[in-house]
């Protein structure tokens, strides 16, 4: 698809705004900069786009409130800045939009929420309910309570995950650069293949601003996630006035990352990028070939070994005889039940368990191959 075709089809858009966009030229948090972004978003709302904003800036705002110039390294002080700044940042957003007869809603996420399918679904349902009500969801990582074990790492990755959760048609990542630069320091207009993306990543050097995290590398990592999920992404200059209007007018601004894979289903996306598998299911060669080559569901007869503790409905890893993971899926039976029926025919399940809810251990609709023969569904490992 061309840039114009992609942008014309966008109904649901995630906009990510970095801290640098919400700060003035001296690096201080700026209410005026926030208002300017609000005006950009208002344009999209008036165009009847469903918008989700992933906004950094809480820590930068808190730092300015307590006059801290350099981003704290100590976790308690960092979280204190987030606690101070988050409410003040949200007030700026709400005060602007309520005057325009719109409302905002704050959503603070940590990565552990996404590992459990029910919580993942609840998060998606909350977003959908807010959008149905015409509310602008404003998302940030819950920096006040987050630890290394449950953090997204940066809002570039968070915005990519949010785009997957809500089934966005486009992610626009507004930064302090015009786009991705090539070796001649010219903006790359489009990236269409994984090879092009990896070449760009090799040219990127890592740098950190004093009040921000992330950088171009994290943006390219986010682009890889979305290109693999069938969702386009753009990197544009958040300091450019009317940047969102220019993007949706199909002007040649920023860098557009065109998906190189078809849009993945909600279940597939969760299994690949967010699920936390609870166990492992090992298959014999026949079952592996049936699942891998012939697109079949997994039946109990081909299971040769089990690891981990899992219950019905949990995500599990599926491995071949060599111990190589090639798929993930939602199991219809617990570890204890599978121990009784592995290697058996589906017709024997009821006799062995006293009940039979499914013939399949993992139905094809709830199973995703991590890397198909044509490379069409390579996972993020």
Cβ pair 162, 108 in contact under 8 A: no
Task: Identify the pLDDT of residue 288.
Answer: 96
Domain ranges (residues) in the chain: 3-265, 277-369
- Mind listing the pLDDT tens digit for each residue in 232-264? 999 999 988 899 999 999 999 999 999 977 776
> 277-369 belongs to which homologous superfamily?
PUA domain (2.30.130.10)
Contact 2, 156 (CB under 8 A): no
Contacts of 322 (CB under 8 A, 6+ apart): none
CATH class belonging to 3-265: alpha beta
Tokens of 373: 């023969």
Which pLDDT does position 162 carry in this prediction? 93
Judged on CB neighbours under 10 Å (0-12, 13-18, 19+), 375 is exposed
How wide is the angle at C-alpha 378 spanned by C-alphas 373 and 380, nearest 5°? 155
Instruction: List, for residues 311-352, the tens digit of each pLDDT value.
Output: 988 889 999 999 999 999 989 999 999 999 999 999 999 999
Stated pTM of the model: 0.75
pLDDT for residue 271: 80
Cβ 231 vs Cβ 39: under 8 Å: no
Integer Rg of the chain from CA: 23
All residue ranges of the chain with pLDDT < 70 are 114-115, 143-153, 205-214, 264-266, 274, 371-381
**pLDDT confidence of residue 146:** 56
Q: Please list the residues that pair with 51 across neighbouring strands.
A: 13
Contact indicator for 54, 158 with CB cutoff of 8 Å: yes
pLDDT recorded at residue 152: 54
């Amino acid at each position: 698809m061309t840039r114009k075709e992609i942008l014309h089809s966008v109904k649901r858009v995630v906009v990510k705004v970095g801290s640098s966009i919400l700060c003035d030229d001296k690096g201080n948090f700026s209410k005026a900069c926030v208002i300017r972004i609000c005006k950009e978003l208002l344009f999209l709302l008036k165009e009847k786009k469903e918008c989700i904003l992933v906004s950094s800036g809480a820590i930068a705002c808190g730092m300015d409130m307590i006059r801290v110039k350099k981003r704290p390294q100590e976790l308690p002080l960092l979280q204190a800045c987030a606690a101070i700044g988050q409410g003040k940042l949200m007030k700026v957003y709400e005060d602007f939009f309520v005057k325009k007869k719109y409302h905002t809603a704050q959503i603070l996420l940590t990565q552990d929420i996404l590992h459990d399918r029910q919580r993942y679904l609840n998060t998606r349902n909350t977003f959908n309910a807010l959008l149905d009500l015409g509310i602008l969801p404003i998302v940030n990582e819950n920096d006040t309570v987050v630890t290394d074990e449950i953090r997204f790492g940066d809002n570039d990755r968070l915005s990519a995950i949010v785009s997957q959760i809500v089934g966005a048609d486009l992610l626009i990542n507004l930064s302090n650069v015009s786009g991705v630069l090539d070796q001649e320091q010219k903006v790359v207009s489009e990236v269409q293949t994984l090879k092009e993306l990896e070449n760009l990543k090799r040219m990127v050097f890592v740098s950190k601003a004093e009040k921000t995290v992330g950088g171009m590398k994290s943006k390219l990592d986010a682009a890889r996630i979305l290109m693999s999920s069938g969702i386009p992404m753009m990197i544009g200059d958040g300091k450019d006035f009317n940047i969102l209007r220019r993007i949706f007018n199909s002007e040649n601004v920023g860098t557009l990352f065109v998906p190189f894979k078809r849009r993945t289903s909600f279940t597939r996306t969760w299994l690949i990028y967010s699920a936390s598998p609870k166990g492992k299911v090992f298959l014999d060669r026949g079952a592996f070939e049936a699942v891998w080559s012939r697109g079949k569901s997994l039946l109990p007869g081909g299971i040769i070994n089990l690891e981990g503790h899992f219950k019905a409905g949990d995500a599990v890893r599926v491995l071949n005889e060599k111990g190589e993971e090639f798929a993930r899926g939602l199991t219809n039976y617990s570890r204890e039940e599978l121990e009784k029926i592995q290697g058996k025919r589906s017709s024997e399940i009821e006799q062995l368990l006293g009940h039979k809810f499914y013939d399949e251990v993992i139905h094809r609709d709830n199973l995703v191959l991590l890397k198909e023969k044509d490379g069409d569904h390579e996972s993020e490992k």
